[in-house]
Structure 1
Amino acid sequence: MDRFRYYLRVRYGECDAQKVVFNARYADYVDLATAEWLRALGFEKELQTGELDYQLVKQTLEWKAPARYDQVIEASVSAKTIGNTSFTLATEFRIAGHEPVIATAETVYVHVNSKTLTKQSLPQPWRDAFLRGAAGAVVDHAGWARVGADTA
């Protein structure tokens, strides 16, 4: 099954002196990819109104290989587990056009009320959508889909 793909280009300011993506930036990339995954699931309105609000509870990152300045990164997001108020997402990072995974992240979020920040249950339609995922959806902030492997 085809995975959800979010493409972003590594900017100079996201790199260390060796022009390798600084490790803390992967958390930023997870945040961007998660928001785009939720939009791909059809939750644009809920994200804008705060009806779908969530806080990060735990995040584990594992690095396997570097990404460098000006490379295009592909981030894929999928639901790993869904609880009553929490959900765990798995994110895999690749250099666009290449299959080897260069980094992974497992992120636990809790659904909260946007005004009180208290935990609240995930509605069943949301749970179903999270589990169904957004396989085949592509969000391209790097222009990768237009030029493809020529920029890998």
Structure 2
Amino acid sequence: MLSRKITFRVRYAETDQMGVVYHGNYAQYLEMGRIAWLRSFGLSYREMEENGIMLPVIQLQLNFKKSALFDDELTLETSLKELPTVRIAFGYSLTNQHQEIVATGSTDLVFMDVNRKRPMRCPEYILKKLR
């Protein structure tokens, strides 16, 4: 479906003593991809929060294929799996500078009304931008 790519370099602080990216950092990479994906459609996570909408992660899945190393140039492709309802689901593919797959994954997030502290349907203005 709708996908966007970002490219970034692995920083030294993201690695362990062997120069391998620590597994916990991959969740942050996926977040970078989601925020850039939203931004590419003129959607701002900050504005959503200011309007009382949060998107907590309710599911995260990762499959590690190859180690990412310090100073690798990584490309993360973030794809929308389907038009959102109460949930929004993303798929990810992370490759290195040699076009080798480093990891694949997915996340599910839920639209949450901050004031009511309850799930809500995806706002219509977001759906319009995605159609």
| Alignment of structure 1 residues 30-49 onto 2, 5 Å | 30-44=30-44, 46-47=47-48, 49=50
Name the Cα RMSD after superposition. Answer: 2.3
CA shift in 2, pair 1:53/1:11, >3 Å: same
CA shift in 2, pair 1:128/1:66, >3 Å: farther
Report Cα offsets for 1:39-81 as digits up to 9, x if no partner: 1111126346245420100000001111111112111111113
Match of 1:15 in 2: 15
CA shift in 2, pair 1:51/1:37, >3 Å: farther
Match of 2:62 in 1: 61
CA shift in 2, pair 1:87/1:27, >3 Å: same
Aligned length: 130
**Amino acid across the alignment from 1:31:** E
Structure 1 moving runs of 4+ over 6 Å: none
Mind listing any 5+ residue stretches in structure 1 that lack a counterpart? 133-152
Residue 34 (structure 1) shift:
0.6
CA shift in 2, pair 1:54/1:67, >3 Å: same
CA shift in 2, pair 1:58/1:113, >3 Å: same
Match of 1:71 in 2: 72
* SS of residue in 1 equivalent to 2:27: helix
* SS of residue in 2 equivalent to 1:99: coil
* TM-score of the pair, normalised by structure 1: 0.74
**Amino acid across the alignment from 2:60:** Q
**Amino acid across the alignment from 1:73:** L
Report Cα offsets for 1:69-116 as digits up to 9, x if no partner: 1112111111113452101100110114x3332101110000112334
Taking only the aligned residue pairs, the percentage that are identical comes to: 23
CA shift in 2, pair 1:6/1:12, >3 Å: same
* SS of residue in 1 equivalent to 2:93: strand
Residue 33 (structure 1) shift:
1.1
* SS of residue in 2 equivalent to 1:13: helix
CA distance in 1, matches of 2:100, 2:94: 9
CA distance in 2, matches of 1:57, 1:126: 20
Mind listing any 5+ residue stretches in structure 2 that lack a counterpart? none
